[in-house]
Amino acid sequence: MKKNKISKNWINRQKRDIFVRKSKLEGYRSRAAYKLQELDEKFILTKNISNIVDLGAAPGSWSQYLSKKVSKAKILSIDYLKFEPIKNIEILQGDFTDEECQKRITSFFRSKLDLIVSDMAVNTTGNKNLDSIVTGELCLKAMIFAINHLNEKGTFVSKIFMGSSFNEIILKGKKSFKDIKVFKPTSSRKESKETFLICRYLK
């Protein structure tokens, strides 16, 4: 398909998409906010929590949701892309996979974390297998960070692609967490291989 046709299709799909329209009305920077909202409604992620990390946060709709939902929490949002400030949110611009960036996260909190959410994904290359492998690596790195820095009852939520690294990630999660769920919100496009992993209670 030609590039022009792909972008026309994308624009038409955006116009038809109810979550795109809803996000404009409700002031969210992207439709992705509704994925976190659905995950929160189903798994009660944001009750009685105070330390939250949002990985791969730009342009910021998950952080906007968290800022409204848990306004008293300490929230640090990380992305290597710059994005507009959000009330109640501290932004750290950097590559999460850098050791220095991870040190800055831990020194910001100086205590264990209640919730780590990751919507990190690389720019799509057009090669779905490659995209899912690289995003899988990001998910694994985020999970390792979560294992080391969550408190015992903490929760780790991550985007994951149904692909070659899926089983390895689930296995790693099962070794370290008592409770693991996989859930695809209705706001996640059907044609996307994306789904979400919810891990809680460290072993």
Ligand X SMILES: C[S@@+](CC[C@H](N)C(=O)[O-])C[C@H]1O[C@@H](n2cnc3c(N)ncnc32)[C@H](O)[C@@H]1O
**104-128 per-residue burial string, b: 16 or more CB within 10 A, e: under 16:** ebeeebeeebbbbbbbbbeeeeeee
For the segment 127-166, give every residue that binds ligand X (CB under 6 A).
138
Can you list the alpha helix ranges (DSSP code H) found in 44-150?
61-69, 99-109, 128-149
Task: Tell me how many helices (H) and strands (E) the chain has.
Answer: 7, 7
Q: Minimal distance in Å, beta carbon 152 to ligand X? A: 26
Residues 45, 52, 53, 57: which binds ligand X (CB under 6 A)?
Answer: 57
Q: Please check whether residue 161 is in contact with residue 132, taking contact to mean a CB–CB distance below 8 angstroms.
A: yes
Q: Minimal distance in Å, beta carbon 28 to ligand X? A: 8
Is 24 an active-site residue?
no
Is residue 185 a contact residue for ligand X (CB under 6 A)?
no
d(CA 165, CA 140): 9
Q: By CB under 6 A, how many residues form the interface with ligand X?
A: 23
Pick the catalytic residue from 35, 74, 159, 172: 159
Q: Please check whether residue 203 is in contact with residue 178, taking contact to mean a CB–CB distance below 8 angstroms.
A: yes
Which residue has the CB atom at the shortest distance from ligand X?
A: 56
Can you list the alpha helix ranges (DSSP code H) found in 78-117?
99-109
- For the record, the structure tokens of 85 come out as 């400030």
Residues 45, 60, 172, 185: which binds ligand X (CB under 6 A)?
Answer: 60
Can you list the alpha helix ranges (DSSP code H) found in the chain?
3-16, 18-26, 33-43, 61-69, 99-109, 128-149, 166-176
Point out which span in 58-66, 125-133, 166-174, 178-186 binds ligand X (CB under 6 A): 58-66
Is residue 173 a contact residue for ligand X (CB under 6 A)?
no
Number of CB atoms found within 10 A of residue 162's CB: 13
- Mark residues 80-109: x for contact with ligand X by CB under 6 A, - for none: xx-------------xxx------------
- Mark residues 111-130: x for contact with ligand X by CB under 6 A, - for none: --------xxxx--------
Nearer to ligand X, 152 or 162 (CB): 162
Nearer to ligand X, 56 or 173 (CB): 56
Is residue 58 a contact residue for ligand X (CB under 6 A)?
yes
d(CA 117, CA 83): 17
Q: Minimal distance in Å, beta carbon 188 to ligand X? A: 11
Q: Minimal distance in Å, beta carbon 2 to ligand X? A: 25
Catalytic positions, please?
A: 159
